[in-house]
Amino acid sequence: MNSNVSIPAHQTSTLDVVEGNLSLGEHATVKGMGKPSSLKVSGTIYCEGDNIFECNLSARSLEADGDVTVYGNLTVENRVRVEDGRLEVYGSMSAKSVDIDESLRVNEHLTVEEVDVGGSIKVEGNVKAKEIDVGGSFRSKGETVAEKIDVGGSVSVESKVDIIELEVGGTAKVNGGKIRRIDVGGSFESENSLEFEKIDVGGTVRLSGDNKGLEIEVGGSLKVEGNLEFEEIEVGGKVEISGSGKGQEMDVGGKVEVGGSLTLSESLEVGGKVEVGRNISAKNIEVGGVLDAYKVEAENRVEVGGSITTMEGVIARFVEIGKRGKVRGLIRAERVVIGKEASVENIYGKEVYLKNGAIAKSIYGEHVKIEPHCHILGELHYTNELKIGENVTLAKEPQKVNKIPF
């Protein structure tokens, strides 16, 4: 038989078990019994607002119109609903679904299936949930496991995460872990190694440690303090990787800086400048401005609009240098095209073509074509064919040889 209990406004009552529903007037307080102090309600708790529970509390459901504070653990079998108020739990909290207009604060751990909060969620311990939907901010100090987190403002998780889908309107910061899909309007940051499938961020991304994923799409800049393994990167501004990068393809509007090696199975396309401390390897390399690396290797082609600086040269099937470009280091390719008024060092190729006014140190080719007003500062060796335009300056007489050191 149900035995409903009501506590008048501004009153304090001590209860142990309620076999039914419990109703509290405004500013009413409930104390539990036993050690630790506890209250068990078999039905629903109805709160009129500004209510305090000085005990561990369990119930089938909790409904409130105004603020509720629980100085202990809160265990709700079904639904928690707080209108026009906030919920503070000084222990751990578990429920099937949570719907709060203002804010939720849990001093220990939070376990829910669904939580929807209009303002903010702050959890000092771990979080385990299916769906988290917050209008303002979400903050967790412990490990956070969720299928989906959707936050309008900001997310901060100080421990590792395991999330299938993270959607944030503003900024998000985690401490490593696994996130399948990341969609952030502003900035995203991971302070430890992260595994991911896709990162889509409007502003900036910063990763630390050894990171592994598939797709990265960033409107602004990507900074990795460590190593990065990926499939595709598309960044509007700048990419910085302090360690090494390994993936399929990279498309960057501005600048790429890699402290170690950059290894791509497909293409590298950069609008501005590329600086790599060790080797670059890709199927195709296209740089609008400057390419600087210890060694550059491409399965197919290397096209650079500005300058190339290497220690061990550029090796590809086809190499093209733009107008007034500069190359420091050798070029070795089946076909080499040097733009007008460009300056290069030693060229080794089957087909070598210097456009008007270009300067080369030495040329070793099978078929060599030199347009007018070019300058050859060293040797010119060819095996099959040599075409030289007017007013070409040669430091030495061209030599037809049986073989070039290709």
Q: What DSSP state is assigned to residue 136?
A: S
* HSE (side-chain half, CA atoms, 13 Å) at 339: 15
Boundaries of every domain in the chain: 1-92
pLDDT of residue 329: 96
77, 96 Cβ separation under 8 angstroms:
yes
- Tell me how far apart the alpha carbons of residues 147 and 113 are, in angstroms, rounded to a whole number: 10
Beta bridge partners of 292: 275, 309
pLDDT of residue 2: 60
pLDDT of residue 404: 86
10-residue mean pLDDT profile of the chain (406 residues): values are: 86 96 97 95 97 98 98 98 98 98 98 98 98 98 98 97 98 98 98 98 97 97 98 97 98 97 98 97 97 98 96 97 96 97 97 97 97 97 96 95 85
Identify the CA nearest to 28 among candidates 45, 7, 44: 7
pLDDT tens-digit readout, 75-115: 999 999 999 999 999 999 999 999 999 999 999 999 999 99
pLDDT tens-digit readout, 130-158: 999 999 999 999 999 999 999 999 999 99
121, 101 Cβ separation under 8 angstroms:
no
3-state secondary structure of 262: strand
DSSP string, 141-198: SS-EEEEEEEESSEEEESS-EEEEEEEESSEEEE-SEEEEEEEESSEEEESS-EEEEE
252, 238 Cβ separation under 8 angstroms:
yes
pTM above 0.75, yes or no: yes
pLDDT tens-digit readout, 350-367: 999 999 999 999 999 999
